[in-house]
Amino acid sequence: MSRTYFGTDGVRGRVGEAPMTVDFALQLASAAARVLAPRGGSVLIGKDTRLSGYMFEAALEAGFVAAGVDVKLIGPLPTPGIAYMTRYFGCSFGVVISASHNLYEDNGIKFFDASGGKLSDQLEQEIEAEIGRGTITRGSRELGRAVRVDKERTEYQKFCASTLAAGVDLEGLKIVLDCANGAAYKVGPRVFADLGAEVIPVGCSPNGRNINDGCGSTAPQLLQLTVPGVRAQVGIALDGDGDRLVMIDHLGRSVDGDQLSYVIARARKEAGALTGPVVGTLMSNLGLEVALRGCGIDFRRANVGDRYVLGMLKETGGIIGGETSGHILCLDRTTTGDALVAALQVIGVIRQTGRSLPGLAAGMARFPQVLLNVKVARRFDPAAVPEVNAAVDRVAKSLGAEGRVVLRASGTEPVIRVMVEGREEAQTRAFAEDIATAVRAAAA
């Protein structure tokens, strides 16, 4: 069964346009209640800092209460924090109102199950099948209750701190932390400050409209200037919902998700604590695969999306996985991708080894990788277009074993992603442009 509303990370879209409307949120709440809490139960609702979050929070609250589900409202908290607090409260499921790294005009709704994990494709299909059946309004005696639990956010802060290796603290460490004016703007600085670090906050003044706007993991340029400017040892950039991580070294250079996964995995291997393979995605840099192989670490590729990385980790018994964009999973610490937890793992390695971030990341040599996002009026399968396939075949034959080609439709935006890796950057870019031209022609 195909999914109409759920993409790779919940339901997402432009606010005011289907499906991101109040009417749909009410229907979605009733549908989710029927599937996830058919005999009543409780749900935790969290959000990021978008202006529209208040609207969707109210709509979901009304829908769940009307369906007989108790609601706990925790306000702005990172997506992985909602996963953790769903387990902490013993809720039947959790809901996050966020469009992750998108700008404020967009919003989204995503779910966690009672264990704090992403819903399976099957459960999302079951929820979709219930949408359109109308909203439930039970009698007064059967209605749910709604309470605010904002003060319990400190439990998530304590949990993050507990994932740092025993005996390690951050005394004497200067960190610049960019929270993208998003969900981590309160808890992020407190986590690192409570561990003894000197924290210089950036992107911690949300106004409802500035989330991910020129800040955070998708726009780390200000952080790259600030870290060397204030002589900090490291910079940490989160995205708007706090599940993506990019780090900046003391010279202002960006260290992406592939490099951070390598640092964590290698440290786990050297400590004898790594189990199973490291899992990346089709878009993970070839340099990560080569570097891990050199350390005697198996590497596997899943489909793009941290839910698929998580699925392969569970299938193979792995504990470390991630995406180039900065979704990093440390299943020996938590159940989902968590930027704060991942940052603490990297900083823990820095403190334990006495080595700098660039020194740790130097073991992975990145292959030149060109990613072009070709905007299209409608989503389509590029692999079904003969002219596009011909362009891909030409490039693949030219690269041979020294590179890779990945072509896929985005699950969250109307774009076709063209990725080419090779040994020589100019040639790699030319190959990517060749394929992108074929995609544009097919989309015309």
The DSSP result for 317-376, as a single string, is: T--EEE-TTSBEEETTT-SS--HHHHHHHHHHHHHHH---HHHHHTTSPPPPEEEEEEE-
| Domain at 155-252: CATH code | 3.40.120.10
Q: Give the residue from 317, 283, 276, 279 showing the smallest Cα distance to 299.
A: 279
| Domain at 369-443: CATH code | 3.30.310.50
User: How high is the pLDDT of residue 200?
Assistant: 98
Q: Is the pLDDT of residue 380 over 60?
A: yes
Query: What CA dihedral angle connects 42, 186, 96 and 150, to 10 degrees?
Result: 20
Are domains 257-361 and 369-443 of this chain identical in fold?
A: no
Catalytic pick among 100, 261, 284, 325? 100
User: How high is the pLDDT of residue 378?
Assistant: 80
| Domain at 257-361: CATH code | 3.40.120.10
Q: Give the residue from 291, 233, 302 showing the smallest Cα distance to 264.
A: 291
The mean per-residue pLDDT over the stretch 131-157 comes to 96
Q: Could you read off the pLDDT of 179-219 as tens digits, one per residue?
A: 999 999 999 999 999 999 999 999 999 999 999 999 999 99
pLDDT > 70: percent of the chain: 99
Q: Give the residue from 101, 126, 12, 129 showing the smallest Cα distance to 411.
A: 12
Q: Is the pLDDT of residue 66 over 60?
A: yes
| Domain at 11-152: CATH code | 3.40.120.10
Q: Give the residue from 267, 265, 270, 271 showing the smallest Cα distance to 284.
A: 265
Q: If DSSP codes are grouped into helix, strand and coil, which group holds residue 22? A: helix
Q: Could you read off the pLDDT of 275-308 as tens digits, one per residue?
A: 999 999 988 999 999 999 999 999 999 998 888 9
100 among known catalytic residues: yes
Q: Is the pLDDT of residue 177 over 60?
A: yes
Q: Give the residue from 250, 267, 253, 265 showing the smallest Cα distance to 299.
A: 265
CA distance linking residue 361 with residue 364, whole number of Å: 6
User: How high is the pLDDT of residue 2?
Assistant: 63
Q: Where are the domains of the chain?
A: 11-152, 155-252, 257-361, 369-443
Global confidence as pTM: 0.90
